[in-house]
Amino acid sequence: MAGRRVSFASMAADPVVDAPGVDSSANDTPARWVPTANCLPNPRNPRDELGDLSDLASIKDRQLQSCLAVTPDAYLRLWPEDRQALGAGPQDVVIVNGNRRRAAAQLYGREQLLVVVDDTVADSKATLLRAALDENMARKDFDPIEEANAVLLIVAQYPTAKEAAEAEGWSQSWISHRKNLLKLHPELQRQVRAKARGEDGVSINVARRLGSVKGIEEMSLAEQTAELEQLLQSDSDTVAARRAARVEAKAAAKAAPADVPTPQPVVAPAPAPQPATEAAPPAPRPVVPPASRPEPAPQAPIASTEPTPIADRFSAENSEPLPMPEQREKPAAPTPTVELGDVDWHNVEELADAICRTLSADEAYRLADALANRLLTTNS
């Protein structure tokens, strides 16, 4: 099940009881009603805090979505060290997806929950952790540090990060972005969490770039803060330079002279037509018989008007031969400016170069993160 979201519909193949306690054999079905007190929270839930549960207040009267759970035996096969902390009894189940619904049911007094019990979710640590992660990632308020911890915990279940990426449908760069957040000092991680909640803090994109600085893990809080200030100053300088370039371009466009209209040729008026006068017919030429026609006198050769070639004057004899047109040097063609619209989108390297020339570093990171999230959603 690695790399795929859990489908509750495929699990609940057997009929679900309509009301609690109607069918005594419900314990043998994947979907059954379980007393809320017997629904144990997942000790490996990636969320540290469940947050405000007021949006689930209606669960007191109606449960709109079932919970996914495994039996304690299946869970403890993966993490036997959690036996004492879990404190499970024979009638208990461990909630994998639906821990907020379980907490809301306890808070608002719901006595039973509809639960889908499927121990195949506990085939491996990675599958159970991924099932818990998927539900939380769909929430907008999921803490980015909690997400990073959950992702790295799943990756740790595989021999290499590459195998984890292939199995879970993630890219290695997407994993690296989450890993970079965990390289920061806990105080900076707190600021990242604050920003994600809409408060003042450090944005996720800036934090990931800061985490990619070489040796950042070994730095103290003061040193990491200094690196953060340099990063923010560099971004500010880049934005200011682009703004100044746009202002300068607009000023140059305004100062450019207007196009001078091309003068039209002046057409002289046609002369006024003269009144026609009757001309006398030409006199007829005398007809001369061929035999009596005089022979034309031989003409002397016309003297050439071309000057005599002189040694120091240009001529075909003393000049160097001109190169043929194809031998002449051609002016260098201007280097075309590659725009995003002209890029071969199947050429990853060309596309990356065009993006780097077009976007700022922060914009490129945001684009990379958006693409990774889109791929994750599509593959899942």
DSSP secondary structure of 293-319: PPPPPPPPPPPP-SPPP-TTS--TTTS
- Looking at residue 124, its pLDDT comes to 92
d(CA 259, CA 261): 6
Check pLDDT > 80 for residue 376.
no
Contact 3, 126 (CB under 8 A): no
Query: Is residue 84 scored above 60 in pLDDT?
Result: yes
Write 133-142 long-range contacts (CB < 8 A, 24+). Answer: 133/46, 134/5, 134/6, 134/97, 134/380, 135/97, 135/98, 136/45, 136/46, 136/47, 141/51, 141/196, 141/197, 142/47
Mean pLDDT of the chain: 75
- State whether residue 199 is helix, strand or coil: coil
* 366 in Cβ contact with 205 (< 8 Å): yes
* pLDDT single digits (tens) 127-184: 999 988 887 776 656 788 888 988 888 898 899 888 988 888 888 888 998 999 999 9
Q: Check residue 220 and give its pLDDT.
A: 93
With helix as H, strand as E and coil as C, how does 316-347 read?
CCCCCCCCCHHHCCCCCCCCCCCCHHHCCCCC
Tell which residue, 104, 105, 76, 102, has the closest CA to residue 88.
76
Res 196: pLDDT:
85
Higher pLDDT pick, 274 / 306: 274
Identify any residues that bridge with 55 across adjacent strands, giving them in sequence order: none
Q: In which band, very low, low, confident or very high, does the pLDDT at 6 lie, cut at 50, 70 and 90?
A: very low
Q: What is the pLDDT of residue 141?
A: 63
Residue of 19, 20, 373, 29 whose CA lies nearest to 173: 373
**Res. 275 pLDDT band, cuts 50 70 90:** low
Angle, helix 348-358 to helix 361-379, in steps of 10 degrees: 140
- Does pLDDT of 91 surpass 80? yes
Strands (E), the chain: 31-35, 39-40, 67-70, 93-97, 112-117
DSSP state of 14: S
**pLDDT at residue number 379:** 56
User: In the sheet where 112-117 sits, what is the strand order?
Assistant: 31-35, 112-117, 67-70, 93-97, 39-40
DSSP percent split of the chain into helix, strand, coil, nearest 5 = 50, 5, 45
The predicted-structure confidence for 279-336, as pLDDT tens digits, reads as follows 455 555 555 455 445 555 555 555 444 444 444 444 444 444 444 444 444 455 454 5
Give the Cα separation of 66 and 16 in Å (integer).
11
Average pLDDT (92-119) is 92
Q: What does the alpha-carbon distance between residue 288 and residue 65 come to, in Å, rounded to a whole number?
A: 126
Asked if residue 19 has pLDDT above 50, the reply is: no
pLDDT for residue 123 is more than 70: yes
Please tell me the predicted confidence (pLDDT) of residue 259: 55
The type of residue at 344 is D
What SS3 class is residue 111?
coil
Give the number of other Cβ atoms within 10 Å of residue 295's Cβ.
Answer: 5
Rounded CA-CA distance 92/89 in Å is 5
- Percentage with pLDDT > 70 across the chain: 66
Q: How confident is the model at residue 187 (pLDDT cuts 50, 70, 90)?
A: very high
Question: Mean pLDDT across the stretch 216-238?
Answer: 91
**pLDDT of the residue at 301:** 52
Confidence of residue 4 (pLDDT cuts 50, 70, 90): very low
Q: What angle do CA 290, 293, 295 make, to 5 degrees?
A: 125
- Indicate the helix (H) or strand (E) that contains 134: helix 125-137
- Comparing 375 with 152, the larger pLDDT belongs to 152
Q: What is the phi-psi region of residue 6: left when phi exceeds 0, alpha when psi lies from -120 to 50, beta otherwise?
A: beta
Q: What is the pLDDT of residues 20-73, one digit of tens each?
A: 333 334 445 578 899 999 999 999 888 877 877 888 889 988 898 889 999 999
Overall pTM surpassing 0.95 (yes/no): no
pLDDT at residue 372 tops 70: yes
pLDDT of residue 273: 57
pLDDT reported for residue 319: 42
Spatial contact of 113 and 63, defined as CB atoms under 8 Å apart = yes
Residues sharing a CB contact under 8 Å with residue 164, sequence separation 6 or more, in sequence order: 126, 154, 155, 157, 158, 170, 175
Dihedral (C-alpha) 122, 143, 35, 62: value to the nearest 10 degrees? -120
